[in-house]
Amino acid sequence: MILLFLSSGLFLGWSLGANDAANIFGTAVATRMVRFRAAAITGGIFIAIGAVVSGGGPAATLGKLGAVNALGGSFMVALAAALAVLWMTRAGLPVSVSQAIVGGIIGWNLFTGSATDVSALITIVTTWVVCPVLSAAIAALLFLAVRGVMARSRIHILELDAGTRLGLLVAGAFGAYALGANNVANVMGVFVPAFPETSVRLFGVIHVSTSQQLFLVGGLAIAAGMYTYSKRVMMTVGRGLFKLSPVAALIVVLAESIVLFVFASESLQSWLVARGLPPIPLVPVSSSQAVIGAVIGIALVKGGKNMRIGLLGRIGAGWVATPAVAGVVAFLGLFFLQNVFGLTVHRPVPYALSEPVLERLAEEGVAEVALEELRGSRYPSARSLRSALDGIETLDADEARAVFEYGRVERFEIDPAGIEALDPTLLTPRQIEAVKALAWQTFEHRWMLHEALERKSSDWSVLPESEDSHFWNRRLVRNLAYVADAFRVDAASH
């Protein structure tokens, strides 16, 4: 059954591989500078590595937008995205899986009455616009640098050819890694919150989380799409790009890969944060639009001749049309799955505005007065809490988000058998000791569990942001999610 639910994600991954791999190896293969087999094998390996190693960042951002918490819902959201991509491609729009999946998630939020995190949505949409612009800027700078170096170095045309071949393979591998890291969230991100906990320990030392396993499967689906179907797309895209010259095409691939990497790399984000610079949001972006941006960047440096300005308008249209189509398809599809096939597309999440929750919210700056009339009330679903909150005019969007975050009821029972099964390669000994100290206790909210753990050990404390603490805090969030998943029991049954 799980495989059946995953099938839409696998299909989405396959189509992403078939289409987007051409952006990475299209030029190299179409011109026979790199053999298709070599490109497909290199691409497949690096896509899978990128997906497993760095797929988490963009997936977390998508998760903020909406946590699809039932496999039926995940299935429909991925299917809606796949169908939107298929239709929009036929309509000739430069469509992106990244944009389709966001539409699908919003469709799920609307259908289930879940809150859409507006700030996460704004971050994601801003990134879509920034992606081609950044790609254009990087390509333009690389182009100027390479042209300068070539003019001075007097490199022979044949050596340049050999170097370009090697560069296309290396840039292709980097691009494949970045594509896997950035885009696997599109394929598997919606399955992560709904998937049963299946983390394993390899050889007793490497902890492979459920999401990493899903990302590996997603990465393999993308790789399969690349291996089985991308050759034809490569021939078309590659020849289109090739008009630029192989060196310029190499620059395009590099610029695209850098952009995908920038929007997927947690290490880069930590590095920026440590230096007091604004962090780059980790968001799945469109590789096709990054390529178009890079081509335009080079065209501008060359004097802006032969530019297809109309293409920019079409990209803009895609930003609106793709999520809209995917959202509508997801909404209608979820209705059918739930009401015609009787599938669970959403596990209702209960909310409680109990005394401790209101106190916690007050600490977060949400005025207790605003929520006074809701004090002590419980809500069976996000939709019912939403309608209750809609009546309170003094509550702004951020405060409402905090109410959803802290009011969410999840039941956690610290079962001693579960403590024994905790992975010591993932948690520190002091973290495990803290969990042991809470044996037999129960918690109604995730933040309560975290506070209790924090009281038992400082190893559960979030540190002030710095280069070192960024990694620590990231690990802390991951470990807390791991412990919460390990001890969560179905809240509805209590």
Residue type present at position 225: G
Q: What is the DSSP string of 246-305?
A: HHHHHHHHHHHHHHHHHTT-HHHHHHHHHTTPPPPP-----HHHHHHHHHHHHHHHTTST
DSSP category for residue 114:
P
Instruction: State which residue, 29 or 452, has the beta carbon closest to another protein.
Output: 29
Cα 313 to the center of its chain, rounded Å: 26
Question: Which of helix, strand or coil describes residue 354?
Answer: coil
Binding test (CB under 8 A) with another protein, winner from 3, 158, 205, 421:
158
SS3 201: strand
The residue within the footprint of another protein, chosen from 90, 156, 275, 305 (CB under 8 A), is 156
Rule CB under 8 A: say whether 405 interacts with another protein. Answer: no
Stretch that binds another protein, among 171-179, 190-198, 244-252, 468-476 (CB under 8 A): 244-252
- Token reading at 453: 């753990």
247 binds another protein (CB under 8 A): yes
Q: How many residues bind another protein (CB under 8 A)?
A: 23
Q: Is the CB of residue 101 less than 8 Å from the CB of residue 189?
A: yes
Q: Which of 129, 133, 145, 150 binds another protein (CB under 8 A)?
A: 150
Q: Does 32 bind another protein (CB under 8 A)?
A: yes
- For the bound state, the minimum distance from the C-beta of residue 38 to another protein, rounded and expressed in Å, comes to 13
- Contact call for residue 154 and another protein (CB under 8 A): yes
User: Taking CB under 8 A as the criterion, which residues in 104-143 touch another protein?
Assistant: 143
Could you report how far apart the first and last alpha carbons of the chain are, in Å? 27
Q: Which residue's structure tokens are 């412990």?
A: 483
Nearer to another protein, 173 or 329 (CB): 173
| Least spacing, CB of residue 253 vs another protein, in Å | 14
**Contacting another protein (CB under 8 A), which of 6, 16, 33, 192?**
33
Q: Which is nearer to another protein, 108 or 143 (CB)?
A: 143
Which of 247, 321 has the CB closer to another protein?
Answer: 247
Pick 244 or 434: Cβ nearer another protein = 244
Question: What's the CA gap between 440 and 330, in Å, rounded?
Answer: 41
Choice between 150 and 492, CB closer to another protein: 150
Burial of 370 (0-12, 13-18, 19+ CB in 10 A): middle
Q: Directed axis angle between helix 246-262 and helix 118-153, to 10°?
A: 150
- The C-alpha atoms of residue 460 and residue 429 are separated, in whole angstroms, by 11
Among 41, 49, 141, 146, contact with another protein (rule: CB under 8 A): 146
Q: Which of 87, 229, 242, 472 binds another protein (CB under 8 A)?
A: 242
Q: Could you tell me the CA-to-CA distances from 333 to 69, 190, 213, 457 in Å, in that order?
A: 16, 15, 27, 47
Binding window for another protein (CB under 8 A); candidates: 15-23, 112-120, 245-253, 350-358: 245-253
Least distance (Å) from another protein to the CB of residue 198? Answer: 42
CA distance 199 to 416: 19
Q: Are 73 and 112 in contact (CB under 8 A)?
A: yes
Site for another protein in 161-200 (CB under 8 A): 161-162, 165-166
Residues that bind another protein (CB under 8 A): 31-33, 143, 146-147, 150-151, 154-159, 161-162, 165-166, 242, 245-248
